[in-house]
Amino acid sequence: MAQSVTLFEDTPLELVLGGMLSPINIAYQTYGTLNADKSNAVLLCHALTGDAEPYYAAPADKGWWQDFIGSGLAFDTDKYFFICSNVLGGCKGTTGPASINPMTNQPYGSQFPVITVQDIVRVQKALIDYLEIPHLKAVVGGSFGGMQATQWAIYYPDFVDNIVNLCSSLTLSAEAIGFNHVMRQAIINDPNFNGGDYYQGMAPDNGLKIARMLGMLTYRTDIQLAKAFGRETKQHTEVWGDYFQVESYLSYQGIKFLDRFDANSYLRLLRALDLYDPTLGFENEQAALSRIKANYTLVGVTSDQLFKQVDLHKSKQQLENSGVPVDFYEFHSNFGHDAFLVDYAFFEEMIKKGLAK
Protein backbone atom coordinates (compact mmCIF):
# COMPACT_ATOMS: atom_id res chain seq x y z
CA MET A 1 0.00 0.00 0.00
CA ALA A 2 1.48 3.31 -1.12
CA GLN A 3 1.82 6.23 1.29
CA SER A 4 -0.07 9.40 0.61
CA VAL A 5 0.12 13.14 1.27
CA THR A 6 -2.07 16.07 0.32
CA LEU A 7 -0.25 19.20 -0.88
CA PHE A 8 -1.16 22.40 -2.72
CA GLU A 9 -4.00 22.96 -0.25
CA ASP A 10 -3.39 26.64 0.43
CA THR A 11 -1.54 27.49 -2.77
CA PRO A 12 -2.96 25.84 -5.88
CA LEU A 13 -0.64 24.46 -8.53
CA GLU A 14 -0.78 26.75 -11.54
CA LEU A 15 -0.49 24.50 -14.55
CA VAL A 16 1.92 25.35 -17.31
CA LEU A 17 -0.76 25.35 -20.03
CA GLY A 18 -3.37 27.10 -17.90
CA GLY A 19 -5.74 26.20 -15.11
CA MET A 20 -4.96 25.29 -11.55
CA LEU A 21 -5.41 22.37 -9.19
CA SER A 22 -5.95 22.38 -5.44
CA PRO A 23 -5.55 20.29 -3.41
CA ILE A 24 -3.33 17.59 -4.93
CA ASN A 25 -3.09 14.20 -3.35
CA ILE A 26 0.17 12.39 -4.04
CA ALA A 27 0.65 8.64 -3.70
CA TYR A 28 4.26 7.66 -3.14
CA GLN A 29 6.44 4.90 -1.82
CA THR A 30 9.99 4.73 -0.49
CA TYR A 31 12.60 1.97 -0.36
CA GLY A 32 15.88 1.77 1.54
CA THR A 33 17.02 4.27 4.18
CA LEU A 34 17.79 7.96 3.89
CA ASN A 35 21.31 8.43 5.26
CA ALA A 36 22.26 10.94 7.94
CA ASP A 37 23.39 13.70 5.58
CA LYS A 38 20.44 13.02 3.24
CA SER A 39 22.75 12.54 0.29
CA ASN A 40 21.51 9.20 -1.02
CA ALA A 41 17.98 9.98 -2.22
CA VAL A 42 17.01 8.83 -5.71
CA LEU A 43 13.71 9.65 -7.41
CA LEU A 44 12.24 6.97 -9.65
CA CYS A 45 9.83 8.29 -12.31
CA HIS A 46 7.31 5.84 -13.72
CA ALA A 47 6.29 5.39 -17.34
CA LEU A 48 2.86 6.03 -18.85
CA THR A 49 0.79 3.49 -16.94
CA GLY A 50 3.01 2.91 -13.92
CA ASP A 51 2.34 3.72 -10.30
CA ALA A 52 4.05 4.71 -7.05
CA GLU A 53 5.09 1.15 -6.25
CA PRO A 54 7.80 -0.31 -8.49
CA TYR A 55 8.34 -2.97 -5.82
CA TYR A 56 5.80 -4.79 -3.68
CA ALA A 57 6.86 -6.32 -0.38
CA ALA A 58 4.01 -8.84 -0.58
CA PRO A 59 5.34 -11.88 -2.40
CA ALA A 60 2.18 -12.53 -4.43
CA ASP A 61 2.36 -9.25 -6.33
CA LYS A 62 4.96 -7.79 -8.63
CA GLY A 63 5.82 -4.15 -9.04
CA TRP A 64 6.85 -2.80 -12.41
CA TRP A 65 10.54 -2.75 -11.41
CA GLN A 66 10.24 -5.64 -8.95
CA ASP A 67 13.40 -7.38 -10.15
CA PHE A 68 15.48 -4.20 -10.31
CA ILE A 69 15.07 -3.07 -6.68
CA GLY A 70 16.73 -4.68 -3.68
CA SER A 71 19.96 -5.30 -1.82
CA GLY A 72 22.84 -5.29 -4.30
CA LEU A 73 20.57 -4.88 -7.31
CA ALA A 74 20.54 -2.14 -9.97
CA PHE A 75 18.54 0.02 -7.57
CA ASP A 76 20.52 -0.96 -4.49
CA THR A 77 18.47 -0.46 -1.34
CA ASP A 78 21.62 -0.88 0.75
CA LYS A 79 23.08 2.27 -0.78
CA TYR A 80 20.21 4.51 -1.74
CA PHE A 81 16.90 5.81 -0.50
CA PHE A 82 14.39 5.54 -3.36
CA ILE A 83 11.25 7.61 -3.70
CA CYS A 84 8.61 6.95 -6.31
CA SER A 85 5.30 8.76 -6.72
CA ASN A 86 2.32 8.37 -9.01
CA VAL A 87 2.21 11.17 -11.62
CA LEU A 88 -0.22 14.06 -11.56
CA GLY A 89 -3.17 13.16 -13.80
CA GLY A 90 -2.75 9.47 -13.04
CA CYS A 91 -5.23 7.11 -11.45
CA LYS A 92 -3.11 5.31 -8.88
CA GLY A 93 -3.54 7.55 -5.86
CA THR A 94 -2.36 10.90 -7.16
CA THR A 95 -4.96 13.49 -8.17
CA GLY A 96 -6.28 12.86 -11.66
CA PRO A 97 -9.46 13.03 -13.75
CA ALA A 98 -11.22 10.38 -11.63
CA SER A 99 -10.54 12.33 -8.41
CA ILE A 100 -13.26 14.41 -6.79
CA ASN A 101 -13.27 18.03 -7.91
CA PRO A 102 -13.76 19.99 -4.65
CA MET A 103 -15.68 22.69 -6.54
CA THR A 104 -18.40 20.26 -7.65
CA ASN A 105 -18.00 17.21 -5.38
CA GLN A 106 -18.07 15.17 -8.60
CA PRO A 107 -15.15 13.51 -10.39
CA TYR A 108 -13.25 16.00 -12.54
CA GLY A 109 -13.85 14.01 -15.75
CA SER A 110 -13.91 16.39 -18.70
CA GLN A 111 -13.04 19.31 -16.39
CA PHE A 112 -9.59 17.98 -15.58
CA PRO A 113 -7.01 20.29 -17.15
CA VAL A 114 -4.28 19.50 -19.66
CA ILE A 115 -1.27 18.15 -17.79
CA THR A 116 2.35 18.47 -18.90
CA VAL A 117 5.56 16.76 -17.82
CA GLN A 118 6.51 20.12 -16.36
CA ASP A 119 3.46 20.02 -14.05
CA ILE A 120 4.19 16.43 -13.08
CA VAL A 121 7.75 17.35 -12.14
CA ARG A 122 6.65 20.35 -10.07
CA VAL A 123 4.36 18.09 -8.06
CA GLN A 124 7.23 15.63 -7.56
CA LYS A 125 9.40 18.50 -6.36
CA ALA A 126 6.73 19.49 -3.86
CA LEU A 127 6.74 15.92 -2.55
CA ILE A 128 10.54 15.90 -2.22
CA ASP A 129 10.36 19.22 -0.33
CA TYR A 130 7.63 17.84 1.92
CA LEU A 131 9.89 14.85 2.68
CA GLU A 132 12.59 17.39 3.60
CA ILE A 133 15.05 15.96 1.15
CA PRO A 134 17.43 18.79 0.21
CA HIS A 135 19.11 17.14 -2.75
CA LEU A 136 18.69 14.17 -5.10
CA LYS A 137 21.57 11.89 -5.92
CA ALA A 138 19.71 10.94 -9.08
CA VAL A 139 16.46 11.06 -10.98
CA VAL A 140 15.80 7.94 -13.04
CA GLY A 141 13.06 7.14 -15.48
CA GLY A 142 12.21 5.09 -18.53
CA SER A 143 10.04 6.20 -21.44
CA PHE A 144 7.62 8.88 -20.12
CA GLY A 145 9.65 8.70 -16.89
CA GLY A 146 12.79 9.64 -18.81
CA MET A 147 11.13 12.86 -19.91
CA GLN A 148 10.38 13.64 -16.27
CA ALA A 149 14.02 12.99 -15.37
CA THR A 150 15.19 15.40 -18.08
CA GLN A 151 12.79 18.08 -16.89
CA TRP A 152 14.09 17.73 -13.33
CA ALA A 153 17.59 18.58 -14.53
CA ILE A 154 16.27 21.62 -16.40
CA TYR A 155 14.02 23.01 -13.67
CA TYR A 156 16.29 22.22 -10.70
CA PRO A 157 19.86 22.04 -12.02
CA ASP A 158 21.52 22.34 -8.59
CA PHE A 159 19.23 19.83 -6.96
CA VAL A 160 20.19 16.70 -8.94
CA ASP A 161 23.57 15.02 -9.44
CA ASN A 162 22.65 12.39 -12.01
CA ILE A 163 19.98 11.81 -14.63
CA VAL A 164 19.40 8.31 -15.97
CA ASN A 165 17.06 8.31 -18.98
CA LEU A 166 16.09 4.90 -20.34
CA CYS A 167 14.44 4.28 -23.73
CA SER A 168 13.27 7.83 -24.18
CA SER A 169 14.09 10.87 -26.27
CA LEU A 170 13.76 14.58 -25.54
CA THR A 171 10.54 14.75 -27.54
CA LEU A 172 8.14 12.26 -29.07
CA SER A 173 8.35 11.49 -32.80
CA ALA A 174 5.60 12.25 -35.32
CA GLU A 175 5.01 8.51 -35.70
CA ALA A 176 4.58 7.98 -31.98
CA ILE A 177 2.21 10.97 -31.79
CA GLY A 178 0.33 9.22 -34.59
CA PHE A 179 -0.02 6.02 -32.56
CA ASN A 180 -1.18 8.09 -29.58
CA HIS A 181 -3.71 9.81 -31.82
CA VAL A 182 -5.17 6.47 -32.91
CA MET A 183 -5.36 5.31 -29.27
CA ARG A 184 -7.09 8.51 -28.23
CA GLN A 185 -9.62 8.28 -31.02
CA ALA A 186 -10.46 4.71 -29.98
CA ILE A 187 -11.31 5.99 -26.48
CA ILE A 188 -13.06 9.20 -27.54
CA ASN A 189 -15.24 7.31 -30.05
CA ASP A 190 -16.35 4.74 -27.50
CA PRO A 191 -20.11 5.25 -27.05
CA ASN A 192 -19.63 5.30 -23.26
CA PHE A 193 -17.00 8.04 -23.27
CA ASN A 194 -19.48 10.93 -23.01
CA GLY A 195 -16.80 13.58 -23.44
CA GLY A 196 -14.96 12.19 -20.41
CA ASP A 197 -17.90 12.37 -17.99
CA TYR A 198 -18.58 8.67 -17.70
CA TYR A 199 -18.09 8.08 -13.99
CA GLN A 200 -21.82 7.85 -13.33
CA GLY A 201 -22.28 5.15 -15.97
CA MET A 202 -20.38 2.58 -17.99
CA ALA A 203 -16.71 3.30 -18.67
CA PRO A 204 -15.38 3.42 -22.26
CA ASP A 205 -13.89 -0.03 -21.80
CA ASN A 206 -13.85 -1.13 -25.44
CA GLY A 207 -12.03 2.01 -26.47
CA LEU A 208 -9.50 1.74 -23.66
CA LYS A 209 -8.96 -1.94 -24.44
CA ILE A 210 -8.24 -1.14 -28.11
CA ALA A 211 -5.86 1.63 -27.05
CA ARG A 212 -3.99 -0.70 -24.72
CA MET A 213 -3.67 -3.41 -27.35
CA LEU A 214 -2.14 -0.93 -29.77
CA GLY A 215 0.14 0.40 -27.05
CA MET A 216 1.35 -3.14 -26.34
CA LEU A 217 2.29 -3.61 -30.00
CA THR A 218 4.51 -0.52 -29.87
CA TYR A 219 6.14 -1.69 -26.62
CA ARG A 220 7.03 -5.11 -28.01
CA THR A 221 8.86 -6.26 -31.13
CA ASP A 222 7.98 -8.40 -34.10
CA ILE A 223 10.80 -10.80 -33.13
CA GLN A 224 9.41 -11.29 -29.63
CA LEU A 225 5.83 -11.83 -30.85
CA ALA A 226 7.04 -14.21 -33.56
CA LYS A 227 8.90 -16.25 -30.94
CA ALA A 228 6.09 -16.23 -28.41
CA PHE A 229 3.11 -16.75 -30.72
CA GLY A 230 4.11 -16.99 -34.36
CA ARG A 231 1.06 -17.95 -36.36
CA GLU A 232 -0.33 -20.36 -33.77
CA THR A 233 -4.09 -20.49 -33.61
CA LYS A 234 -6.30 -21.22 -30.64
CA GLN A 235 -8.03 -24.55 -30.47
CA HIS A 236 -11.82 -24.70 -30.81
CA THR A 237 -12.24 -21.21 -32.06
CA GLU A 238 -14.04 -19.37 -34.84
CA VAL A 239 -12.26 -17.50 -37.62
CA TRP A 240 -13.97 -14.40 -36.25
CA GLY A 241 -12.96 -13.67 -32.71
CA ASP A 242 -9.54 -14.33 -31.24
CA TYR A 243 -8.44 -16.94 -33.74
CA PHE A 244 -4.68 -16.47 -33.52
CA GLN A 245 -2.83 -16.77 -30.22
CA VAL A 246 -1.39 -13.28 -30.66
CA GLU A 247 -4.94 -11.89 -30.81
CA SER A 248 -5.86 -13.75 -27.68
CA TYR A 249 -2.77 -12.36 -25.96
CA LEU A 250 -3.56 -8.79 -26.99
CA SER A 251 -7.20 -9.11 -25.96
CA TYR A 252 -6.11 -10.48 -22.59
CA GLN A 253 -3.70 -7.57 -22.11
CA GLY A 254 -6.41 -5.11 -23.13
CA ILE A 255 -8.95 -6.50 -20.69
CA LYS A 256 -6.45 -6.80 -17.84
CA PHE A 257 -5.65 -3.12 -18.29
CA LEU A 258 -9.26 -2.11 -17.61
CA ASP A 259 -8.94 -3.21 -13.99
CA ARG A 260 -6.06 -0.91 -13.33
CA PHE A 261 -6.47 2.16 -15.46
CA ASP A 262 -8.83 5.02 -16.11
CA ALA A 263 -9.49 6.15 -19.70
CA ASN A 264 -9.34 9.86 -18.84
CA SER A 265 -5.96 9.42 -17.17
CA TYR A 266 -4.74 7.50 -20.17
CA LEU A 267 -5.83 10.33 -22.49
CA ARG A 268 -4.22 13.01 -20.30
CA LEU A 269 -0.93 11.17 -19.94
CA LEU A 270 -0.72 10.26 -23.64
CA ARG A 271 -1.16 13.93 -24.42
CA ALA A 272 1.52 14.90 -21.91
CA LEU A 273 3.82 12.47 -23.73
CA ASP A 274 3.04 14.12 -27.09
CA LEU A 275 3.36 17.64 -25.73
CA TYR A 276 6.60 17.20 -23.83
CA ASP A 277 9.07 19.78 -24.98
CA PRO A 278 11.97 20.72 -22.72
CA THR A 279 12.00 24.13 -24.37
CA LEU A 280 8.58 25.07 -22.99
CA GLY A 281 8.95 28.26 -20.93
CA PHE A 282 12.47 28.95 -22.19
CA GLU A 283 13.61 31.12 -25.06
CA ASN A 284 14.96 28.23 -27.09
CA GLU A 285 16.38 24.73 -26.87
CA GLN A 286 19.84 25.93 -25.93
CA ALA A 287 18.45 28.08 -23.11
CA ALA A 288 16.58 25.09 -21.68
CA LEU A 289 19.11 22.29 -22.12
CA SER A 290 22.18 24.30 -21.13
CA ARG A 291 20.67 24.65 -17.64
CA ILE A 292 21.42 20.96 -17.05
CA LYS A 293 24.31 20.42 -14.63
CA ALA A 294 23.65 16.76 -13.83
CA ASN A 295 25.61 13.92 -15.35
CA TYR A 296 23.34 12.61 -18.06
CA THR A 297 23.08 8.90 -18.93
CA LEU A 298 20.96 7.90 -21.92
CA VAL A 299 20.29 4.25 -22.71
CA GLY A 300 18.51 3.08 -25.85
CA VAL A 301 17.43 -0.23 -27.31
CA THR A 302 17.99 -0.61 -31.04
CA SER A 303 14.76 -2.58 -31.50
CA ASP A 304 12.62 0.02 -29.67
CA GLN A 305 9.62 0.69 -31.93
CA LEU A 306 8.26 3.61 -29.90
CA PHE A 307 11.37 5.63 -29.10
CA LYS A 308 13.41 4.82 -32.16
CA GLN A 309 17.16 5.03 -32.19
CA VAL A 310 17.20 7.86 -34.70
CA ASP A 311 15.40 9.97 -32.09
CA LEU A 312 17.70 8.96 -29.25
CA HIS A 313 20.70 9.84 -31.39
CA LYS A 314 19.12 13.20 -32.11
CA SER A 315 18.51 13.79 -28.38
CA LYS A 316 22.13 12.98 -27.61
CA GLN A 317 23.19 15.49 -30.24
CA GLN A 318 20.82 18.16 -28.94
CA LEU A 319 22.12 17.73 -25.40
CA GLU A 320 25.75 17.83 -26.52
CA ASN A 321 25.07 20.90 -28.68
CA SER A 322 23.90 22.61 -25.50
CA GLY A 323 27.04 21.61 -23.63
CA VAL A 324 25.62 18.60 -21.78
CA PRO A 325 27.95 15.59 -22.04
CA VAL A 326 25.96 12.38 -22.48
CA ASP A 327 26.96 8.88 -21.50
CA PHE A 328 25.14 7.09 -24.28
CA TYR A 329 24.62 3.35 -24.49
CA GLU A 330 22.57 1.33 -26.92
CA PHE A 331 22.08 -2.38 -27.29
CA HIS A 332 19.83 -4.90 -28.94
CA SER A 333 17.04 -6.62 -27.05
CA ASN A 334 14.19 -8.67 -28.45
CA PHE A 335 11.99 -6.93 -25.86
CA GLY A 336 12.11 -3.58 -27.68
CA HIS A 337 10.78 -0.60 -25.76
CA ASP A 338 9.74 -2.70 -22.76
CA ALA A 339 13.34 -3.85 -22.30
CA PHE A 340 13.86 -1.24 -19.55
CA LEU A 341 11.19 -3.01 -17.49
CA VAL A 342 12.25 -6.61 -18.08
CA ASP A 343 15.78 -6.92 -19.43
CA TYR A 344 17.61 -6.66 -16.11
CA ALA A 345 20.87 -8.15 -17.30
CA PHE A 346 21.35 -5.40 -19.86
CA PHE A 347 20.37 -2.47 -17.69
CA GLU A 348 21.98 -3.37 -14.37
CA GLU A 349 25.45 -2.05 -15.06
CA MET A 350 24.33 1.12 -16.81
CA ILE A 351 21.88 2.01 -14.07
CA LYS A 352 24.48 1.36 -11.35
CA LYS A 353 27.05 3.52 -13.14
CA GLY A 354 24.54 6.25 -13.88
CA LEU A 355 23.45 6.49 -10.24
CA ALA A 356 26.92 6.41 -8.73
CA LYS A 357 28.55 9.34 -10.51
Edge-to-edge strand list for the sheet holding 41-45:
3-7, 24-31, 81-85, 41-45, 136-142, 160-166, 295-301, 326-331
The reply to whether 304 belongs to the active site is yes
138 closest CA partner among 149, 154, 151:
149
Question: Is the separation of the CB atoms in 350 and 299 below 8 Å?
Answer: yes
Q: Which helix (H) or strand (E) holds 141?
A: strand 136-142
- The answer to whether 274 is annotated as binding is no
Is 51 annotated in a binding site? The answer is no
The single-letter DSSP state of residue 244 is B
73-81, 209-217, 281-289, 340-348 -> range binding a second copy (CB under 8 A): 209-217
Q: Which stretch binds a second copy (CB under 8 A): 34-42, 96-104, 142-150, 168-176?
A: 168-176
Residue 222 found at the interface with a second copy (CB under 8 A): yes
Residue 229 CA to residue 231 CA, distance in Å, equals 6
- Figure out which of the listed residues 14, 61, 175, 349 binds a second copy, where binding follows CB under 8 A: 175
Smallest gap, in angstroms, from Cβ of residue 173 to a second copy?
5
List 217, 298, 312, 324, residue binding a second copy (CB under 8 A)? 217
Cα 144 to Cα 72, 86, 165, 227, distances in angstroms: 26, 12, 10, 27
DSSP letter for 274, please: H
Active-site option among 304, 311, 315, 333? 304
Q: Does 185 bind a second copy (CB under 8 A)?
A: yes
Minimum CB separation of residue 27 from a second copy in Å reads: 26
**Rounded least distance, CB 211 to a second copy, Å:** 9
85, 143, 265, 315: the catalytic one is 143
- Residue type, position 218, single letter: T
Binding mask 296-315 for a second copy (x = CB under 8 A): ------------x-xx----
* Alpha-helix residue ranges (DSSP H) falling in 322-343: 339-342
How far is Cα 345 from Cα 340, in angstroms, rounded to an integer?
10
Q: Which residue ranges make up the annotated binding site for substrate?
A: 212, 338
Positions that interact with a second copy (CB under 8 A): 17, 114, 171-179, 181-182, 185-186, 189-191, 206-207, 209-210, 213-214, 216-217, 220-223, 225-226, 228-231, 239-240, 242-247, 250-251, 271, 274-275, 277, 308, 310-311
